[in-house]
Amino acid sequence: MNDRVEESFDGPQSPQNFTCFSGVNGKSLVMKNREEIETPGVKLPPPLIVLAILLVGLGLDYVFKTEFSNGAWWLQIVGVALVVLGLVLNLWSAVMYRKAKTNILPHTADSNLIEVGPFARSRNPIYLGMLVVFVGISLILNAPLALLFAPLAWLALRFYVIAREEAYLVRRFGDEYTSYQSRVRRWM
């Protein structure tokens, strides 16, 4: 049984040249000029996943009026430092994507494997940066319940996004990626 679902692209390219197939052995494929290009199959943008979880936590903090100790002003300073650190890590990672001439979006095909810059220390520096920003915002806003949602954001990234990306990268780059996996940790 063929379980392919065909969709056409609307855009500057001719719809006859680009067709998307989903549901083929759990893989997302894009046809470009009738040549299959596999993608990781991540449908929800990771920043939106993390933001949604943060907003749920912040909402609960607002409803239940929770806060850290009243004298914990220093937590806001730590929070600002973490937000800056996370944003710098994400910006540095984005620059590495640009230099490698590969697409940063997780629902698109990768053209090159990046092993330099922050990717020399973490296979997922962008997601690490997102989580650091999450924790920083929770501290700045004095929101302990939101902070408790950080592990949920980590789980969503690890098992929804990263698991798909890593399986795709093994298929796409083979031994080159498995060698990179053996040298560089997933997070830090």
- CATH of residue 72's domain is 1.20.120.1630
- Between the alpha carbon of residue 161 and those of residues 60, 74, 126, the distances in Å are 25, 34, 12
Which range marks the domain in which residue 26 is found?
1-38
What is the total residue count of the chain?
188
Asked whether residue 130 is assigned to any structural domain, the reply reads yes
Give the total number of structural domains in the chain. 2
Asked whether residue 188 is assigned to any structural domain, the reply reads no
Q: Are residues 70 and 149 in the same domain?
A: yes
Percent of the chain, pLDDT > 70? 80
- pLDDT reported for residue 79: 97
Q: Are residues 91 and 120 in the same domain?
A: yes
Q: Are residues 122 and 89 in the same domain?
A: yes
- pLDDT reported for residue 69: 83
**Confidence (pTM):** 0.81
Per-residue confidence band for 38, with pLDDT thresholds at 50, 70 and 90: confident
Q: Are residues 109 and 158 in the same domain?
A: yes
Residue 43 clears pLDDT 80, i.e. is over it: yes
Asked whether residue 6 is assigned to any structural domain, the reply reads yes
Strand pairing report for 27-32 and 18-24: antiparallel
d(CA 76, CA 106): 32
In degrees and rounded to multiples of 5, residue 176 shows phi and psi of -60, -45
- pLDDT reported for residue 36: 57
